């Protein structure tokens, strides 16, 4: 028993020391940012990530520091990473919009048929967390309604419980489908941000291959496959090409 108590004490002590270190690095980074020492602030924020800590606030600060230092690609990258943790974060959304307005490429998405476009709009209307909460709520409504039906001796209450059970069942099934569709959409492909000023996409994964198109820093692309030091990417307009792996960063 004493042995486990000692282990627990060491773990808690180590955690508190790490937390204090993270807080110290964050404060140092914020102070450097206020002093307009953006490169130094980036180093402090990055040191926190290197310790295994991440948060929307940290990515927000890191994105701001990169933006102020003129590195639009890395600014967008960190805002996007923050939004993966907190999709509804308005500060991240606003800053991402501002920085994207300063990028060069304006690529329009290939039009989709109405029903597909409507479905994508619907399932992305809320974050994954919100859909999860809705699924739980309606399953609880279903469970509560079924329980009331079996334990109640009042006919009217039983009828109402049948109606609410049907609503709960239909909503729970629908939101479960939406939730899994959202998860599948998030995990079916990786996205990356170009961090190089300008890069030519190649027809095949080698330097001697023909250039297909030129894209610029800050553009978001879908990662289709990888081969050695090359990454096959797809643009929103449907164009596909190969880029050097060091030209982009996975979100």
Q: How confident is the model at residue 9 (pLDDT cuts 50, 70, 90)?
A: very low
The predicted pLDDT at position 13 comes to: 39
Instruction: Please tell me which residue, 86 or 76, carries the higher pLDDT value.
Output: 76
The predicted pLDDT at position 56 comes to: 94
Instruction: Please tell me which residue, 238 or 113, carries the higher pLDDT value.
Output: 238
The mean per-residue pLDDT over the stretch 221-232 comes to 94
Summarised one tens digit per residue, pLDDT across range 155-202 is 888 899 999 999 999 999 999 999 988 877 766 568 999 999 999 999
Residue 131 has pLDDT above 50, yes or no: yes
Residue 73 has pLDDT above 90, yes or no: yes
The predicted pLDDT at position 119 comes to: 84
Instruction: Say if pTM beats, i.e. exceeds, 0.85.
Output: no
The predicted pLDDT at position 110 comes to: 67
The mean per-residue pLDDT over the stretch 201-209 comes to 94
The predicted pLDDT at position 137 comes to: 96
Give me the chain's average pLDDT, please: 88
Best CA proximity match to 244, nearest among 232, 233, 230: 230
């Amino acid at each position: 028993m004493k042995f486990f108590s000692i282990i627990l004490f060491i773990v808690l002590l180590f955690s508190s020391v790490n937390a204090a270190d993270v807080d110290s690095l964050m404060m140092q980074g914020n102070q450097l940012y206020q002093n307009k020492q953006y490169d130094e602030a980036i180093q402090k924020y990055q040191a926190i990530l290197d310790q295994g800590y991440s948060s929307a606030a940290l990515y927000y600060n890191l994105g701001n520091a990169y933006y102020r230092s003129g590195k639009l690609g890395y600014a967008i990258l960190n805002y996007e990473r923050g939004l993966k943790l907190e999709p509804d974060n308005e500060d991240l959304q606003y800053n991402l919009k501002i920085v994207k307005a300063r990028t060069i490429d304006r690529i329009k998405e290939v039009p989709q048929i109405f029903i597909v476009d409507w479905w994508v709009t619907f399932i992305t209307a809320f974050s994954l967390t919100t859909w999860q909460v809705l699924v739980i709520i309606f399953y609880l409504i279903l469970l509560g309604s079924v329980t009331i039906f079996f334990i109640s001796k009042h006919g009217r209450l039983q009828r109402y419980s049948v109606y609410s059970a049907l609503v709960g069942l239909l909503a729970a099934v629908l939101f479960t489908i939406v939730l899994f569709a959202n998860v599948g959409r998030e995990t079916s492909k990786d996205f990356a941000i170009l961090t190089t000023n300008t890069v030519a996409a190649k027809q095949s994964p080698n330097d001697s291959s023909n250039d297909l198109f030129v894209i610029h820093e800050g553009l978001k692309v879908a990662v289709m496959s990888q081969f050695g030091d090359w990454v096959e990417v797809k643009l929103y307009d449907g164009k596909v090409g190969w880029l050097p792996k060091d030209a982009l960063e996975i979100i």
